Chains A and B, each alone.
Chain A
Amino acid sequence: MTELGPDVRVINGNYAAAEAVRLVDVDVIAAYPITPQTPIVEYLSEFIANGELDAEFIHVESEHSAISAVVGASATGVRVFTATASQGLALMHEVLFIASGLRLPIVMAVANRALSAPINIWCDHSDTVAQRDTCWIQLYCESNQEILDTIIQAYRIAEHEDVLLPVMVCFDGFTLSHTLEPVAIPDEERVREFVGEFEPVHCRLDPEEPMTIGPVGGPDCYMEFKKMQHEAMERAREVIGEVNREFSDAFGRSYGDGLVEEYNTEDADYIVIAMGSVCGTVKHVIDEERPDVGLVRVKAYRPFPGDRIAEIIQDREGVVTIDRTHSYGAMPPLWTDVKAHAPDVEVSSTIAGLGGRDVRPEDVLRAIKVAEEGKGTDEPVWINVNV
């Protein structure tokens, strides 16, 4: 939580993202503007034009090119950044696998937005959750402060030699991207000390030490590469926790254990499990009228902290997930992930906030009621919907 002090500025989520990139002193940026992420691209262009950030900005004609450019730049051993949303992230899809397969520590911000059709510029999680199996670490933010702090941490996580995977920092379009609130801006020198010099240890184009990047991996070795990616993702759990603790020591803020944040869970009869900014509204409801409810905020969706969540939700009166996306023809993704780790726990499923439908306190209360009534265990309950 942000403490008000002289280091605080009142900024929107997109600015918080751009400011983090400036503080980290990223070397190469390639990004293509798309609502609601566009201001990130504008702020970063301004920082570079004003001499506040010494980085190369590669102008591209699409998101596919943006991610391809940062893949190439990252392979030369420099720090890179890109940002997108919605259709732009979908257009990046095939290259996302290449970024993780090459084990490149790319950091990308996503201002979450629904996918067409119908055309919709507003928030839900269908864009990033659809990229769940691309072997990118996915971290979801609740506040603008958390966007800034998480992007700084993301470089440490991505570049850690036990991990070497790209990281997606996800935050809700408009609800965070276009909302101003107080954010403490950490000291530039201390951020640079925290992230350290980037010393590529694995994938690097260097004429002195030539190496081939991205060759064919046939049936004889492809599976080994994939299992190693799985193992890196598993090791990322430990690293995310470690970086969260070190960040707390350095800057005085932490987010649960880095993967999961618990709120009022200790004696709670009911547990809500959710991701992103809606968790703020859940906390508000707990504070104002439901002290018997606790929140499990899933900050890391990949790697999924399933064992930890399974422990927390044991022996409760009721448990409910709020998904801001759906897996059509199956149960929603967050519910499915929770149930995979807690098959014996009865978990209710709700879907809310698709395409920017506001998730109001009464919608959170409705989701809690679904758990109280034991509904939604084999079919999701759609909250505040008129069909």
Chain B
Amino acid sequence: MIEIRIHGRGGQGAVTAAEILAIAAKEDGKYSQAFPFFGVERRGAPVTAFARISDEFIRVRSQIYRPDHIIVLDPSLMSVVDVTEGLREDGLVVINAPEDNWNDVLERLSGYRVYAVDATEIALDELGVPIVNTAMVGAYLRASKVLSLDAVREAIRVRFSGEIAEKNVRAVERAYEEVERIE
């Protein structure tokens, strides 16, 4: 079982990102859960969402304290919350950051496997709004290899419709191509 924690700010779509992963898991023939941190949400405030993906039915119902993978939608969160709290040794962090921030990112995340992509630029290009969740799902796919790109395309078409879905599929594909391991 893979346990994933997603950090974002209210409005960036952290909860939707978790939901897309859970829906995509089913498309790949896997079991899943997706849930928000059970609390009150405000636009701009730090938000946490979780997902579990497994080959078997998932029985455990507690929150996630020892994640395998972390997705960070907003690099500024690193100075507000401990984004690697409980992350397993050699755990994976996939972060949205422009290239000139990568040194700073690496410094803060030393000891982990770190992948970065400028998801904000991709979201602005493809969607016209800085909602980076789908781009970050694309980056995460490439870094984790947990799910297939086809499954995520399908999940996006389940979660969104029409032109919005296609724009988000393009954001996923671009981030999948552009994400890089930084070390």
Chain A residues near B (Cβ < 8 Å): 1-2, 4, 8-10, 121-122, 172, 174-175, 178-182, 277-278, 280-281, 283-284, 287, 356, 358-361
Contact = CB atoms under 8 A, between A and B. Distances in A.
B160 to A, nearest CB: 15
Contacts of B35: 174-175, 178-180
Contacts of B36: 178
Interface string B112-146: 00000000000000000000000000000000000
A146 to B, nearest CB: 12
B22 A181 contact: yes
B12 interface: no
A361 B34 contact: no
A181 B59 contact: no
B33 to A, nearest CB: 5
Nearest to A179: B35
Given A180-B33, A360-B65, A287 B22 contact: no
Contact of B38 (A4, A122, A283): A122
A356 B29 contact: no
A182 B61 contact: no
Interface residues of B, number: 24
A178 B38 contact: yes
A284 B34 contact: no
B19 interface: yes
Interface in B32-68: 32-36, 38, 40, 57-63, 65
Contacts of A9: 26
A180 B65 contact: no
Contacts of B30: 4
A284 B62 CA distance: 10
A104 to B, nearest CB: 33
A9 B155 CA distance: 11
Contacts of B58: 181
Contact of A175 (B19, B29, B61): B61
Nearest to A144: B33
19 contacts: A2-B57, A4-B26, A4-B29, A8-B26, A9-B26, A10-B23, A10-B25, A174-B38, A178-B38, A179-B61, A181-B31, A181-B58, A182-B31, A280-B59, A280-B60, A283-B59, A358-B62, A358-B63, A359-B61
